[in-house]
């Protein structure tokens, strides 16, 4: 087998020069001297036989060939990191920590039951829990490798298991004008009222899921905030049914009888951010989560 002439470190230095905007910035980011960075890039271009960078003022820019190779090198570095993490997982066995990313629409009772069941079996594994909304889950996957992501959206290239069906229902406070309507409520009537929507936490894209397009809209950052606003008598919203049982039974919120779309169902998936490198602690937690979600299904029957 032919040995590569270019090292991973040379590709990493090239990436830093491009991402940081120059040799001095790359040197600072990588904690190297500027002369070392310049030499590494020069040696890389010498080995390849053509330039990868051009200098425009103080900024380094890629040539057309450089752009192609930089894209491929990013995959190469990611594969190398994945290989090292796989070796670490195989050597360590049980993960010392699980990074868990959860869309806020995921049923809270099911999540809490699974976490409670996991704790005595965790062998000291730490859980880092991050809550996101809509495409925020996809951002975490593009920016790193969380162990587990619970989301209704599965990006290409990731292993995922369907884990629960989420039911969103339209609700308002009992004293809201919509609750005084006789008969079912049309979409045209609904658009005349203020709708509370939850902001997409993604930075790379933004999704207005469930917004009717009405001018009167308030945007909040979490399901809990939306619940509090609606329960105070301001506006209406679609919220996760699993989190509303107590509020509906106590009368703090009331389900709206709509002409269409009063209930919205979609599947949530367990997405394995590390793929085949998923460790045993994460797999155990997913099993417990599946059991917990099955209880949610049984309660609806």
Q: Per residue in 220-241, pLDDT tens?
A: 988 999 999 999 999 999 999 9
Q: What does the alpha-carbon distance between residue 209 and residue 232 come to, in Å, rounded to a whole number?
A: 23
Query: Do residues 174 and 159 make contact, with C-beta atoms less than 8 angstroms apart?
Result: no
Q: What does the alpha-carbon distance between residue 270 and residue 35 come to, in Å, rounded to a whole number?
A: 47
Per-residue pLDDT at 84: 80
Bridge-based pairing state of the strands 195-198 and 217-220? parallel
The per-residue pLDDT for range 49-101, each reduced to its tens digit, is: 999 988 777 777 899 999 999 999 998 988 888 778 767 766 667 888 999 99
User: Residue 301's pLDDT band (boundaries 50, 70, 90)?
Assistant: very low
User: Residue 272's pLDDT band (boundaries 50, 70, 90)?
Assistant: very high
Query: Do residues 195 and 236 make contact, with C-beta atoms less than 8 angstroms apart?
Result: yes
User: Residue 155's pLDDT band (boundaries 50, 70, 90)?
Assistant: confident
Query: Do residues 134 and 246 make contact, with C-beta atoms less than 8 angstroms apart?
Result: no
- Residue 168, CA atoms < 13 Å, CB-side half-sphere: 21
Q: What does the alpha-carbon distance between residue 118 and residue 95 come to, in Å, rounded to a whole number?
A: 13
Query: Do residues 244 and 173 make contact, with C-beta atoms less than 8 angstroms apart?
Result: no
Tokens of 212: 């009717």
Residue 297 has pLDDT above 80, yes or no: no
Per-residue pLDDT at 110: 94
Residues 60-75, buried b or exposed e (16+ Cβ, 10 A)? bebeeebeebbeebee
Mean pLDDT of the chain: 87
Across 257-286, average pLDDT = 90
């Amino acid at each position: 087998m032919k040995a590569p002439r270019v090292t991973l470190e040379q590709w990493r230095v090239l990436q830093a020069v491009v991402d940081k905007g120059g040799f001095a910035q790359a040197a600072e980011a990588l904690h190297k001297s500027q002369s070392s960075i310049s030499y590494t890039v020069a040696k890389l271009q010498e080995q390849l036989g053509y330039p990868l960078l051009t200098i425009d003022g103080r900024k380094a820019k890629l040539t057309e060939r450089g752009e192609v190779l930089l894209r491929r090198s990013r995959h190469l570095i990611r594969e190398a990191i994945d290989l090292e993490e796989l070796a670490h997982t195989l050597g360590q066995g049980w993960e010392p920590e699980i990074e868990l990313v959860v869309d806020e629409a995921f049923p809270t009772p099911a999540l809490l039951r699974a976490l409670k069941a996991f704790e005595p079996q965790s062998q000291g594994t730490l859980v880092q829990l991050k809550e996101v909304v809509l495409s925020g889950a996809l951002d975490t996957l593009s920016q790193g490798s969380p162990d587990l992501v619970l989301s209704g959206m599965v990006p290409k290239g990731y292993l995922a298991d369907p884990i629960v069906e989420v039911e969103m229902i339209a609700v308002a406070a009992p004293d809201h004008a919509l609750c005084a309507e006789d008969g079912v409520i049309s979409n045209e009537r609904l658009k005349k009222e203020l709708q509370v929507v939850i902001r997409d936490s993604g930075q790379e894209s933004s999704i207005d899921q469930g917004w009717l397009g009405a001018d009167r809209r308030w945007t909040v950052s979490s399901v809990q905030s939306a619940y509090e606003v609606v329960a105070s008598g301001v506006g209406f919203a679609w919220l996760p049914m699993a989190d509303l049982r107590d509020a509906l039974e106590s009368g703090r919120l009331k389900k709206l009888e709509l002409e269409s779309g009063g209930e919205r169902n979609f599947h949530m998936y367990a997405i394995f951010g590390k793929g085949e490198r998923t460790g045993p602690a994460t797999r155990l937690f997913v099993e417990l989560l599946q059991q917990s979600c099955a209880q949610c299904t049984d309660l609806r029957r």
